[in-house]
Amino acid sequence: MFTSPGSGRAAVGLTTAALASVSLLSQSAQAAPDEPKQSIEEVQKKVDELYRQAGTATQQYNQAKERSEKQRTKVDRLLDDVAKRTDKLNEARRMLGSYAAAQYRNGGMASTATMMLADDPQGYFDQDHLMSRMTGRQRQAVEDFQTEQEAASKKRAEATESLASLTESQKELRTTKESVQGKLSEARELLSKLTAEEKARLAELERKREAEARRKAEELARQQAEKARQEQEQEQNDGSGSTDGGSDSGTDSGADSYATKAAKAIDFARAQIGKPYVWGATGPNSYDCSGLTQAAWKYAGVSLPRTTWDQVKVGTRVATEDLKPGDLVFFYDDISHVGLYIGDGQMIHAPKPGANVRTEAITYMPIYGSVRPA
């Protein structure tokens, strides 16, 4: 078969180009190797950390939302005040106008009328020779006008400042919301890349972690029971040698009151088991961790702040070994999670996105501290 020189050169050119492409692809592959695949343990650790960071961001969101709502209430109140002050100012202005009109009809001095109708009569007001020509009621009308004008101006300035603060709070609210969503998206993305086998391995690791937490919680419950037994023995021994049987009645009464309230809070929390965790939620269909504890104690007649950072400041601090049902247990160094203690080393809490309100060992997470809120 006859081949022209031109076609031969074209074939050689195509072959050379193909070889060059293969070479470049090979070099690219060598220059940018795939990142080593994370182990399941590393994935679990990373996801746990992302959920913890999301929990912290949720508390920041709750704090910003609470601040924004308070600021909105303040702004609304100030705007109402501005409207009322404006009405009073207009009424004072109408009174001045009626006096000016009367003076005009009676041939009064034009300068006096000008003063009364001016937006700012201060300059005229300071002139003694004009004031001397005014009646007592006219002087009072001018003073009332000035008072209302100053008050209205002050309220408008306060409203303007509060509106600026509200805008800043709403900006913070949007930022923290984006932070929560970003952390959760990153966690979901990590989990979505796992194979079925890897997900099964991850679930097995979680079961082992929960079993270890239960073991520690059972040990804690045994220690608490032993301590309670020893304290009861001591009280009985102390009581056998005392003739004053009513000396502890005040203490007993306080303990009974707390136990009653705690039982109500726990009953409420139990009724929420199975409802989904939703960040920023306070019920009744879903909760975040501090939203659940706040709602539970509200049912018992005790008002708690919204965030974990404020709830930890309420009531009396108690050691882990001294926990009683109803106490609040806080977790992590940044106090980003809270649960309601129910006894035997267990709590009811709203755990994290994708999970429902449930009972769990308090030893599942690192404990920061605990409080007795009432």
Catalytically active residues are 289, 337, 349
Q: Would you call 156 exposed, middle or buried from its count of C-beta atoms within 10 A (0-12, 13-18, 19+)?
A: middle
Within 13 Å of residue 189, how many CA atoms lie on the same side as its CB? 7
Q: Would you call 89 exposed, middle or buried from its count of C-beta atoms within 10 A (0-12, 13-18, 19+)?
A: buried
Instruction: Extract the runs of DSSP E, i.e. beta strands, from the chain.
Output: 316-318, 328-331, 337-343, 346-349, 358-361, 367-372
Cβ 152 vs Cβ 82: under 8 Å: yes
| β pairing state of 367-372 and 358-361 | unpaired
DSSP state of 35: P
Cβ 335 vs Cβ 312: under 8 Å: yes
The two structure tokens encoding residue 192: 């979505």
Buried-exposed string 12-28: b where 16+ CB fall within 10 A, e elsewhere: eeeeeeeeeeeeeeeee
Buried-exposed string 212-231: b where 16+ CB fall within 10 A, e elsewhere: ebbeebeebbeebeeeeeee
- What is the rounded CA–CA span in Å between residue 308 and residue 33? 44
